[in-house]
Amino acid sequence: MKQMYPKNGRVILHVDMNSFYASVEMAYDPSLKGKPLAIAGNPEERRGIIVTCSYEARSFGVKTTMPLWEAKKLCPQLIVKTPNFDRYRAASIGMFEILQGYADLVEPVSIDEGYMDITNSHDYGSPLEIAEIIQKRVKEQLDLPCSIGIAPNKFLAKMASDMKKPMGITVLRKRDVPKVLWPLNVEEMHGVGKKTGEKLRNMDVQTIGELAKANDIKLKAVLGINGLRLKEKANGVDNRQVDPESAAEFKSVGNSTTLPRDVVNQQELNKVLASLSLKVSVRLKRKKVLATGLGITIRYKDRKTITRSKKLNNPIQSEEEILTIAKQLFHKHWNGNAVRLLGVTGIEVVEQDHAVKQLNLFNYEKEAKKEPLYKTVDQLREKYGSRIIDHAASLSDTKKKQENIGTSTSFSKDFLQMYKRENEKE
């Protein structure tokens, strides 16, 4: 497959979920499928605004940011639901876990879209085959549609993913830019908003092609350095790397395991959750981060997969806290059928030094007792250095193996290994 990839360039995918909030609601309640559905901030009030809507609603002229009263005038049968962000966050986690199974470099840019650098992913097929596999898995496992752009850089991948919706896959090469992008109105270019578009039109720049040939001095005078960057992109040039660290709020630390056999016994499943919670705790401590939310993944015997998450009042790191919440989520959402895979993920992690614990009547006394110890540790660190006292979990991986604590398998690695095994079976 290496010959399907450029020798010197990169292959970037942009995965964009289609009508994400509405699609998640339809996956949660299949009776909504095929109907005009809108998610609105305040459906009880006329001044409510449409957050997103289904393609069926769009066929009536309903659009994002449209006032609710106007949308209902266009589509009297419009079904309106309030946002359920816990539900959307859980679906987002599931989507990014699938993406991380095919590339080491995955960069979330919002809850429903992200970039992947698959330059070194040729073991899984051609770029088009990988995009098709991802799209199929997101649909089968999460019941959600997505569009994917394939290109040599992030800008072109983003432009490509917008070209076919829903469920489209588009390849956009740099040599295609003059024919495909240049005839488009300048406002259709990613990165050009309404105000920037007005400024460009005042310069007699009407199309992306005219922007690609615009005068550098005039562009910089009107738009500053951003004008020159936009011109580069209009010519298909974008040197930005896919950076997994650029969106810290999407960082997560998770572990999953495919069970040796399908399990329905509750005690056995609780033991698996305990093992996963320990591994997540060890990895959180090693990375010196705390989780501000927790998610679980359940895959059943029939391969149906659900992800559920919970936002936490206080950041957590300990095995006991993780297990308690993981069990609560699991027993709330488990339907009693045989389980094939279980996963636990600490989500939206924050650095240990920046985590602020919200003390309440229940934990104040417990934390207050630890205060003298905290002060002593801080004094020792200040005098002898930050690493004079550390968590056992922060020891080197080599020492960890010697102590038989074992290595952790992240959600992404576990998914990738499972995918390999299933392909081998086929």
Binding residues: 16, 112
Query: Is residue 382 among the annotated active site residues?
Result: no
- The closest of 125, 143, 15 to 420, measured between CA atoms, is 125
Binding-site members for Mg(2+) are 16, 112
Q: How far, in Å, are 113, 117, 138, 240, 292 from residue 247 at the CA level?
A: 12, 16, 22, 14, 15
In this structure, the number of other CB atoms found within 10 A of the CB of residue 220 comes to: 14
CB within 8 A of 165, min separation 6: which ones?
Answer: 16, 18, 147
**Cβ atoms 208, 187 nearer than 8 A:** no
CA angle, residues 139, 143, 145, in degrees to nearest 5: 55
The amino acid present at 67, given as its one-letter code, is P
- The single residue of 25, 113, 319, 348 carrying the catalytic annotation is 113
CA distance linking residue 340 with residue 260, whole number of Å:
8
CA distance linking residue 208 with residue 288, whole number of Å:
46
- The closest of 131, 116, 97 to 4, measured between CA atoms, is 131
In order, the DSSP letters of 336-359 are SS-EEEEEEEEEEEEEGGG-----
CA distance linking residue 258 with residue 67, whole number of Å:
46
CA angle, residues 336, 344, 32, in degrees to nearest 5: 60
Q: Supply the residues annotated as catalytic.
A: 113
